[in-house]
Structure 1
Amino acid sequence: MSKEFAKNLFNKQVMATDGTEIGVLSNIVVEIRGGNIIDMMVTPNPNFDTTRYRKEDNFILIPFDSVSAIKDYIIIDKMKAKA
């Protein structure tokens, strides 16, 4: 995956490979020592079923390794993202 500035990721729409609109990226969780992105904190769309996802407050946590592409949208593989 090519490099992307974190500031360009915030408020991007997060979608699944099947076209499901999951929500909007609100924040990221970063490993302090290595600087690796661990999770994305996503504000879910009201109609999206969040029952199989890890949650923190009003966000769902999606592992960053489930990201398959970053362009106009952040595309994730839902099977890798579920808890």
Structure 2
Amino acid sequence: MSDILARNLDGKPVVGIDGTDFGTLYTITMDLESGALRDLVVDARGRASTGDTARADGDDRLQIPVSRVETVNDRIVIQSGE
């Protein structure tokens, strides 16, 4: 995957490879000790359960592990949970 600046990701749609609309990217979290990216935090806009693809927080946002990112172009495509 080529380099992408974080500021270019703000507000991008996040979808599953099966077309599931998860919402829009709110922010990205990282591990402060290692510097590794951890989760995409997605504004879920009241969406229903996502199975084991994402964890919900108390602010109607989903936390999706960065390891699930498949591609990033005009939208962020993630692998579904299995």
> Which interval holds the TM-score relative to the shorter structure?
0.7 to 0.9
Structure 1: gaps of 5 or more residues: none
Tell me whether 1:64 sits opposite 2:66 in the alignment: yes
- Which structure dedicates a bigger proportion of its chain to helix? 1
1:7-61 CA deviation, whole Å, 9 max, x = no partner? 1111000000011111000011111122211001101143x32253312222111
Name the structure 2 match of 1:73: 75
Matched AA of 1:75: V
In 2, Cα distance between equivalents of 1:3 and 1:35: 16
Q: What is the TM-score of this pair, normalised by structure 2?
A: 0.84
Name the structure 2 match of 1:11: 11
How many residues are paired up? 79
Tell me whether 1:49 sits opposite 2:51 in the alignment: no
Identity over aligned pairs, percent: 30
Tell me whether 1:27 sits opposite 2:27 in the alignment: yes
Structure-2 change in CA distance of 1:9 and 1:66 (3 Å): same
Q: What is the TM-score of this pair, normalised by structure 1?
A: 0.83
